[in-house]
Amino acid sequence: TYVVTENCIKCKYMDCVEVCPVDCFYEGENMLVIHPDECIDCGVCEPECPAEAIKPDTEEGLEKWLQLNAEMAQNWPNITIKREPPADAKEWDGKPGKYEAHFS
């Protein structure tokens, strides 16, 4: 599966949802997640994210994010259509500590 990681928080560009062939993105207030049981590992979304927040779960150190994606995908609504990203998305791109400060 692919996993949405920290840099999505407060950037939430949503380009990813437009390309996913199985519509497996789910939307929280500040970020999106991928449902790990629905993702078919096609990899199409990874290069589409302007914040480079999407990674394959084969990468080191993503356990926390994989767990968060799996958990939140069950609670958050499905999203398939991109809307306007937050006006300050660019300012949040690459900021450290976004998880601690803004995840809810």
Residues binding ligand SF4 (CB under 6 A)? 2, 19-22, 24, 34, 39-45
Provide the minimum distance between the beta carbon of 21 and ligand F3S in the complex, in angstroms, as a whole number.
15
Residue 70 binds which entry of ligand SF4, ligand F3S, none, CB below 5-8 Å type-dependent: none
**Residue among 11, 92, 19 nearest 2 (CA):** 19
Q: Is 22 helix (H, G, I), strand (E, B) or coil?
A: coil
Residue 8 binds which entry of ligand SF4, ligand F3S, none, CB below 5-8 Å type-dependent: ligand F3S
Beta strands 2-4 and 32-34: pairing type? Answer: unpaired
Residue 4 binds which entry of ligand SF4, ligand F3S, none, CB below 5-8 Å type-dependent: ligand F3S
